[in-house]
């Protein structure tokens, strides 16, 4: 068993001092996510022969340069007089942990599970006095026989998965070429565009109600331990899935197809009666709101999809239901939500991932372009949205190698252990012959290329 041993934990400071008195307020969407945190792991092979610790030192220098453009990360949480979180940019720095692991990165990837993977990230729960608590943690693990893993943990208050990926990409650009291709932008969420107000416009009540309900729900019960598996669906299989759910291929996206597929299968393994299991989808609203790629902050919105009355194998109806909700989540709808959140000025903290099955669309996240050294794309990128306390999570992510126009996808599934077993044996899943990138440790990984 490969083992990870800690070398040291330090604070990395930005190379440019921050002018005192700067604050970065958090948006309404940010503040909802206080209970959640992210773990992301990037794996790389070694391209060049290096001394132990040499690459870590290079990464450390690059991260210090990069942090000069991200004063929000080196700042600390601070409560305004109104009781809202804001970031006081006090230049305190970001925590970085350095570690070493036995074996090589390829060997590690072959024999992986959730617990092992989480050894490659470092996380500390929010302190009682968060003014001394770093919001971001980076862990760099060098594998003795070659390869490196970069783990990022951060609070969901400041960043969602696309935003955290942008951070790693900025770090990679800085290490490789000394400058960032997409510098970050810090500004509040856009307001409603003035010319576009439709006087007959009805507020998007369902979305607002969904959030209202989430905020008012009591804390979820943490019962069963959940495990995570990762499945890869190649281009042909995804197209087949799309054809299955709709005769005209172009009218359905891979996300809708896979989301519908898993909705149906997970409902089956959970044994839900009278329809499909409660599911919420989580979509990245950056394009919808017209935000620049460099926007820093939360911009993912959840919404419920209605599964009542849909029978076990009715993939088409499931996909239709998802498509309908995706269509309705347009700019106006999101604006309604944001305005309602601002007005309501709630103090309770919802558990946004804490109840239903969540299906997150991370297709547009550009993780595989985070290249630190020449010719070394990440071998794999894993995402975890914590804490995993709801019915389950499905994350739909882009494929590892090559072009972006392919329909192949990687899906991370987090469910209670017995449900995962049943899912892997399900006929519908088997029909699309996924490759198991990370399975349950007891099962051997099937390598169907």
**Least distance in angstroms from the C-beta of 66 to another protein:** 12
Size of the site for another protein (CB under 8 A): 19
Q: Where does this chain touch another protein (CB under 8 A) — which range of 14-22, 161-169, 183-191, 346-354?
A: 14-22
Q: Tell me which of 45, 46, 53, 61 binds another protein, using CB under 8 A.
A: 61
Nearer to another protein, 90 or 306 (CB): 90
Q: Where does this chain touch another protein (CB under 8 A) — which range of 9-17, 25-33, 211-219, 429-437?
A: 9-17
**Least distance in angstroms from the C-beta of 99 to another protein:** 13
H or E element at residue 43: strand 37-44
In whole angstroms, give the CA distance from residue 262 to residue 301.
Answer: 20
| 8 touching another protein, by CB under 8 A | yes
Per CB under 8 A, contacts with another protein among 181-220 are none
In whole angstroms, give the CA distance from residue 216 to residue 53.
Answer: 49
Q: Would you give the DSSP letter of residue 275?
A: B
Residue ranges of E strands in 157-277: 226-233
- Asked if 41 contacts 382 with a C-beta cutoff of 8 angstroms, the reply is yes
**Least distance in angstroms from the C-beta of 133 to another protein:** 9
Q: Tell me which of 22, 50, 58, 60 binds another protein, using CB under 8 A.
A: 60
Per CB under 8 A, contacts with another protein among 63-92 are 64, 76, 90-92
**Least distance in angstroms from the C-beta of 130 to another protein:** 12
**Least distance in angstroms from the C-beta of 20 to another protein:** 9
In whole angstroms, give the CA distance from residue 160 to residue 142.
Answer: 26
**Least distance in angstroms from the C-beta of 440 to another protein:** 36
Q: Where does this chain touch another protein (CB under 8 A) — which range of 13-21, 30-38, 384-392, 418-426?
A: 13-21
Side-by-side strand order, sheet with 85-88:
23-25, 85-88, 76-79
Nearer to another protein, 132 or 222 (CB): 132
Q: Tell me which of 47, 132, 185, 342 binds another protein, using CB under 8 A.
A: 132
**Least distance in angstroms from the C-beta of 331 to another protein:** 39
For residue 166, give Cα distances in angstroms to 34, 159, 163, 169, 360.
Answer: 20, 10, 5, 5, 17
Report strand pairing: 392-397 vs 357-361: parallel
- SS3 for 302-370 is EEEECCECCCCCCHHHHHHHHHHHHHHCCHHHHHHHHHHHHHHCCCCCCCCCCCCEEEEECCCCCHHHC
**Least distance in angstroms from the C-beta of 79 to another protein:** 17
For residue 207, give Cα distances in angstroms to 64, 212, 280.
Answer: 40, 9, 11
Give the DSSP per-residue string, 101-117: ESS-HHHHHHT--HHHH
**Least distance in angstroms from the C-beta of 127 to another protein:** 10
Per-residue contact string for residues 87-126; x = within reach of another protein by CB under 8 A: ---xxxx-x-------------------------------
Q: Where does this chain touch another protein (CB under 8 A) — which range of 7-15, 156-164, 230-238, 408-416?
A: 7-15
In whole angstroms, give the CA distance from residue 347 to residue 125.
Answer: 20
Pick the closest to residue 157 from 70, 281, 39, 29 (CA basis): 29
Q: Would you give the DSSP letter of residue 201?
A: P
Q: Which residues of the shown chain bind another protein in the complex (CB under 8 A)?
A: 8-13, 15, 17-18, 60-61, 64, 76, 90-93, 95, 132
């Amino acid at each position: 068993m490969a083992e990870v041993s800690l070398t040291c934990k330090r604070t990395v400071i930005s190379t440019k001092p921050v002018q005192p008195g700067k604050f970065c307020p958090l948006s309404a969407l940010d503040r909802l996510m206080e209970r959640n945190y992210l773990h992301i792991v990037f794996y790389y092979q070694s391209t060049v022969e290096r001394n132990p610790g040499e690459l870590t030192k290079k990464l450390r220098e690059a991260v210090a340069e990069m942090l000069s453009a991200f004063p929000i990360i080196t700042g600390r949480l601070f409560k305004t007089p109104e009781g809202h979180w804001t970031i006081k940019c006090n230049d305190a720095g970001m925590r970085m942990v350095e570690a070493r692991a036995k074996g090589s990165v390829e060997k590690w990837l072959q024999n992986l599970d959730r617990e092992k993977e989480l050894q490659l990230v470092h996380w500390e729960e929010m302190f009682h006095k968060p003014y001394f608590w770093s919001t971001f943690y980076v862990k760099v693990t060098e594998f003795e026989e070659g390869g490196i893993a970069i783990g990022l943990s951060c609070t969901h208050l400041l960043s969602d998965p696309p935003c955290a990926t942008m951070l790693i990409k900025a770090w990679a650009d800085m290490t490789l070429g000394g400058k960032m291709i997409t510098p970050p932008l810090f500004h509040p969420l856009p307001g409603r565009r003035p010319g576009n107000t439709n006087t007959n416009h009805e507020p998007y009540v369902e979305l607002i109600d969904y959030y209202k309900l989430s905020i008012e729900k009591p804390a979820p019960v943490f019962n069963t331990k959940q495990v995570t598996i990762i499945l890869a669906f190649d281009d042909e299989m995804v197209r087949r899935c799309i054809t299955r759910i709709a005769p005209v291929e172009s009218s359905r996206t891979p996300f809708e197809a896979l989301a519908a597929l898993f909705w149906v299968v997970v409902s089956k393994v959970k044994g839900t009666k009278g329809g499909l299991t409660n599911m919420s989808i989580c979509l990245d609203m950056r394009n919808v709101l017209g935000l620049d790629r460099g926007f820093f902050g939360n911009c993912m919105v959840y919404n419920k999809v209605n599964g009542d009355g849909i029978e076990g194998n009715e993939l088409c109806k499931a996909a239709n239901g998802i498509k309908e909700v995706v269509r309705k989540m347009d700019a106006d709808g999101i604006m309604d939500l944001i305005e309602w959140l601002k007005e309501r000025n709630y103090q309770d903290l919802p558990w946004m991932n804490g109840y239903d099955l969540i299906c997150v669309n991370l297709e547009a996240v550009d993780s595989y372009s985070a290249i630190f050294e020449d010719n070394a794309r990440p071998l794999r990128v894993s995402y975890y949205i914590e804490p995993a306390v709801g019915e389950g999570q499905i994350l739909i992510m882009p494929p590892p190698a090559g072009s972006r126009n392919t329909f192949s996808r990687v899906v991370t599934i987090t469910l209670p252990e017995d449900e995962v077993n049943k899912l892997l044996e399900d006929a519908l899943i088997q029909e699309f012959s996924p490759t198991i990138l990370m399975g349950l440790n007891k099962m051997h990984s099937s390598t169907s290329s």
